[in-house]
Amino acid sequence: MKKTTFLPILVILVLILQSCEDNTLYFEDAYVIENVNIIDPLDGILEQQTVVIKKNKIHQIYTTAEIRLSPKNTIYDGSNQYLIPGLWDAHIHFAFETLLGEYMPDLFLSNGVTSVRDTGGPIDFVLPFKKYSLENPTTAPRVMIAGPLIDGKHNVYDGSSPSFPLLSIQNSSVSVLQKQVQELIDKKVDFLKAYEMLSPEQFKLLAQMAQANNLKLTGHIPLSMDVITATNLGLNSMEHLRNLELSMAEDFEDLFSERRFALKNKNNMSGSKLRSTLHQRQRMKAIANIDSARQNQVLNTLAINKTWQIPTLELYQTFANKKYKSKSFQSYFYLIPQKIRSKWMEQINSTSDKPDQKMIQYTQWSRNMVNQMHEKKIPFMAGTDTPIGFLIPGKSLHDELIQLSLSGLSHLEALKTATYHPAKYFGLENNLGRIKEGYEADLVLLEKNPLESIKNTQSISAVIKAGHFMNRTYLDSLQAK
């Protein structure tokens, strides 16, 4: 009796010992980031995790203590580091500085920006950037394009000066707009962008076409309209909070009729001149006379409609305080090619040093508005407008995150604006923008915890794009000379 029970126990013991020896995990065609702290934009931090990347996906995530890795694996030590999803800059222009365009994808990647949303440029200029990114998913950031700014009869960015390069299409009538927008849709733009000089009739048709084609419509509130009408018609997102204040002013009606009259453009001004005249005449006046009931009505509508906001606070800060005049700002100019650096320095040297008091006031108002919108749960995306304002592609996204956190967003909420939120905006949230098994492996490895200080998003030790691991040395080699 004793003998018969002893033998099976021995067999089991031997089996257990054997399986202990073999109980190491090996992942073929994959690599492993061992013992890293992962920061998911929705779930927050999860410490000491081991993340397996296979092809372009996050294959598995384990608690480090629960597994043993076979030494045969390719292993990167993630100890004391932080893994976040790849970042988005949700407002960029490849076409603003055409010579810089070709350098921008590498600058984005080397700064952890693995996806961008191009918010305006001639369709034939921006399409190749999108095409290149689709053909080279592991070495170029993902590119979503609007094509040109869709503007009215007196278009602003008409190519008439270096400050107003050709970024828009002019639409002299509703039927011209219909034809031109259909061409953009046929060329497979990812979203559409309405601009400030559109007539209400043009805007309405544009919103209908966007909806019918399941495309997001972003933009500036046309000067001929108010925010509530535009967002109720289908404006899904707003850039720079542009013209928001005009709909919140006590003398909203007077400002509105003054604009409608001026927009007839009897003196035949250029679009840019007409627009800046109206901004100068009305913006600060409106901010000085905000009507709180009207503001509430506007913010409640934006909250109900979940109208995305891309406030570009760093851009405003830079212009207001002439930040580009400072040595610390210019210390990053080595990242851009010499030819553009010289051009920028010439432009910078020709502007005055004096801070722009009106712009400072406007910037403070914007930051405060972001805070109030955030409290109303209006959603945000981080965007910069680079290279406008001499903002360096990639680098400036981190500055925008700082601005958003200074405006009242927690560090995790700020991270969300550059990861989960843009993915959600494009309907990609089940595949991109989080650290979960099965998600796209667009990731950034940080040396310091961004939940302690949002500045730590800059402590990048590696970037992973569609599974492709790029270490710091490689990332440095991507930066332009």
> For binding to Zn ion (CB under 5 A), which residues are involved?
119, 385
Amino acid at 366: S
CA of 250: how far to CAs of 184, 247, 254, 359, in Å? 39, 9, 9, 21
Give the single-character DSSP code of 175: H
Q: From CA 177, how far away is CA 200, in angstroms rounded? A: 12
3-state helix, strand, coil in the chain (%, to 5): 45, 20, 35
Q: From CA 88, how far away is CA 363, in angstroms rounded? A: 23
Nearest by Cα to 119 from 389, 349, 387, 467: 387
Taking the least distance from each CB to Zn ion, the nearer of 53 and 381 is 381
Taking the least distance from each CB to Zn ion, the nearer of 152 and 389 is 389
Taking the least distance from each CB to Zn ion, the nearer of 49 and 168 is 168
Residue nearest to Zn ion (CB): 385
Please state the closest distance from residue 404 (CB atom) to Zn ion, in A.
17
| Count of alpha carbons within 13 angstroms of residue 158, beta-carbon side | 17
Please state the closest distance from residue 97 (CB atom) to Zn ion, in A.
12
Taking the least distance from each CB to Zn ion, the nearer of 318 and 458 is 318
CA of 162: how far to CAs of 184, 197, 330, in Å? 25, 20, 21
Taking the least distance from each CB to Zn ion, the nearer of 91 and 283 is 91
Please state the closest distance from residue 385 (CB atom) to Zn ion, in A.
4
Taking the least distance from each CB to Zn ion, the nearer of 226 and 385 is 385
Please state the closest distance from residue 309 (CB atom) to Zn ion, in A.
14
Pairing relation of β-strands 82-85 and 443-446? antiparallel
- The answer to whether 155 and 168 have CB atoms below 8 angstroms apart is yes
Pairing relation of β-strands 149-150 and 168-169? parallel
Please state the closest distance from residue 90 (CB atom) to Zn ion, in A.
11
Please state the closest distance from residue 55 (CB atom) to Zn ion, in A.
35
CA of 118: how far to CAs of 191, 193, 479, in Å? 10, 10, 20
* Sequential DSSP letters for 371-397: HHHHHTT--B-----BTGGGPPTTHHH
Please state the closest distance from residue 91 (CB atom) to Zn ion, in A.
6
Please state the closest distance from residue 213 (CB atom) to Zn ion, in A.
22
Contacts of 421 (CB under 8 A, 6+ apart): 308, 379, 380, 381, 433
Please state the closest distance from residue 35 (CB atom) to Zn ion, in A.
41
What is the torsional sign of CA 77, 80, 84, 88? negative
Taking the least distance from each CB to Zn ion, the nearer of 240 and 374 is 240
Nearest by Cα to 223 from 280, 177, 169: 280
Contacts of 256 (CB under 8 A, 6+ apart): 226, 246
Taking the least distance from each CB to Zn ion, the nearer of 119 and 218 is 119
Please state the closest distance from residue 96 (CB atom) to Zn ion, in A.
8
Taking the least distance from each CB to Zn ion, the nearer of 73 and 363 is 363
Taking the least distance from each CB to Zn ion, the nearer of 89 and 385 is 385
Within a 10 A sphere around the Cβ of 317, how many other Cβ atoms?
22
Please state the closest distance from residue 388 (CB atom) to Zn ion, in A.
6
Nearest by Cα to 239 from 413, 326, 324, 366: 366
The token pair at 299 is 């913010």
Q: From CA 266, how far away is CA 243, in angstroms rounded? A: 22
